[in-house]
Amino acid sequence: MSSYTLPINPVVVAAQYAVRGELVQKADKYREQIKAAKANGQSNPLPFDEIVACNIGNPHELGQRPLTFSRQVLALMHCPQLMDSADATKLFQPDAIERAKRYLQDIRGGTGAYTTSQGLACIREEVRHFLEQRDEVAANTDDIFLTDGASSGVKFLLTLIVKGKEDGVMTPIPQYPLYSASMTLLGGECVKYYLDESKGWGLTREELERSYNEGVSNGVTPRALVIINPGNPTGQCLPVSMIQAIIRFASEKKMLLMADEVYQTNVYGSTPFTSFKKVAASMKSEVVLVSFHSVSKGFVGECGQRGGFFELYNAPEEFKAQLKKLTSISLCSNVSGQLMTGLMVNPPKEGEASYPLYKQERDGILASLQRRAQKVTKILNECTGIHCNEVEGALYAFPSITLPEKAVAEAKKQGKVPDAFYCLSLLDATGICVVPGSGFGQVEGSFHFRTTILPSEETMEKVMNAFKNFHQQFMQKYA
């Protein structure tokens, strides 16, 4: 072992990212144990046969198949000589071949070459067309930035606006920990506003005002307001009236409004998705808005491709210029992700060869997700001491747990947060890996966990039965 002692930035030590934290590291060790036992012809030493990764929205890991058209185009892009093969038309649909040829005409050097820092012009043009169709509002390719998933776009924007501890970003609680971790790294402050669990994780203007004023009284100037819609981890969808109130608030306070809309096609309830840009334009608002989208979610689920984009709306020219400079430091986002973004926003159209299969795959995935959302909500609410709001959107449930006093005491004895203790116990007993609510933020004294709805319908029954059995035994043990 090296004798070197290297300095470590304390903000990195302080940053926390629960969806890849202690539970996942323990789950990875269990996975290796199962693999090693199998490789050595030994019996499995654990009370379960596999790890079920419900800690993160990673659809393909849990069995969702890639969309055929997208993967055909990517294959042709990465290996163009396939198009010259005599079997090309047997292996690939003609519109997939045509799309790959068109992309290659617009990409100097193919997929192995850098692109411009904002991303390929041909893909940004497809994004522009998608946004105009979605919102019925004009868009500009110069306001669109292609990124390595939505996460890198969020980091670009936060880096641009946060100078230090005097700068804050209003962040929902519960929140996706990308925001709190990024603020810790940047030395800024998360100014927390609370979603109301008793009202379907709703939000009020009064709560935004309370949060803003609390930040100011603590010497922090809120520079931006983050909204996640549909919600992560809470799964709620915002009605237009609430979106209007949020836009008015952000505009009055002269804050940047950051709309995380990566789950916009994951809607299962009665409230449809409406983009912040569409509402802002209808209000003729001057709010400065940046909205994010990603290929990792929706029905595409291509997390590993790391593709996404953000769009600026009403942004001052100097703000945009500095953002372009900032993105240029990273040269460009990866080309596969850029292409997947184009394929997400510009899929096969009716009448094209790939459309029937694309429609079948898309509709099948979305219908299955809706059924799974309903099943997870129903089964969780059947468990004593658990309450789960309807999963209206996104890929998660965020139920509250009423833990017995003895369980809370045992958690404290072991130096664990009570809901983390519960989730670790679940992992140890079943191999099901979820994330404690403490990793997302929650009202003090309440306990939650976040689970995905992503196990396949074939395995969902088994997974939820294992969970129910564990929960019943846990509650009895600590009653």
pLDDT on residue 17: 58
Q: For helices 335-345 and 121-135, give the axis angle rounded to 10 degrees.
A: 30
- One domain for residues 299 and 194: yes
pLDDT on residue 44: 80
Q: Domain for residue 222, yes or no?
A: yes
Query: Cα separations (Å) of 354 from 88, 339, 347?
Result: 15, 17, 9
pLDDT on residue 479: 86
Is residue 127 within 8 Å of 342, Cβ to Cβ? yes
pLDDT on residue 15: 63
Q: Report the amino acid identity of residue 8.
A: I
Q: Domain for residue 99, yes or no?
A: no
- One domain for residues 397 and 334: no
- Total domains in the fold of the chain: 2
Q: Shortest CA distance to 347 belongs to which of 299, 379, 312?
A: 299
Q: Domain for residue 82, yes or no?
A: no
Q: Report the amino acid identity of residue 299.
A: F
Residue 228's CATH number: 3.40.640.10
- One domain for residues 306 and 372: no
pLDDT on residue 121: 94
- One domain for residues 337 and 375: no
Residue 400's CATH number: 3.90.1150.10
Q: Domain for residue 3, yes or no?
A: no
- One domain for residues 207 and 328: yes
| Residue-wise pLDDT tens digits, 437-473 | 888 888 888 899 999 888 888 888 888 999 999 999 9
- One domain for residues 379 and 233: no
**H or E element in which residue 377 lies:** helix 355-381
Q: Which residues of the chain have pLDDT under 70?
A: 1-2, 11-12, 14-21
- One domain for residues 305 and 371: no
- One domain for residues 191 and 44: no
- One domain for residues 149 and 281: yes
- One domain for residues 186 and 321: yes
Q: Shortest CA distance to 240 belongs to which of 283, 291, 197?
A: 283
- One domain for residues 371 and 340: no
95: Cα within 13 Å, side-chain hemisphere? 17
CB neighbours of 244 closer than 8 A, spacing ≥ 6? 279, 283
Q: Domain for residue 256, yes or no?
A: yes
pLDDT on residue 85: 80
- One domain for residues 278 and 389: no
Q: Domain for residue 437, yes or no?
A: yes
pLDDT on residue 226: 95
Looking at 290, 313, 345, the residue that finishes a domain is 345
pLDDT on residue 110: 86
Looking at 345, 378, 393, the residue that finishes a domain is 345
Q: Domain for residue 300, yes or no?
A: yes
Domain that includes residue 341, residue range: 114-345
Looking at 345, 380, 398, the residue that finishes a domain is 345
| Residue-wise pLDDT tens digits, 192-227 | 999 999 898 999 999 999 999 999 999 999 999 999
Q: Domain for residue 101, yes or no?
A: no
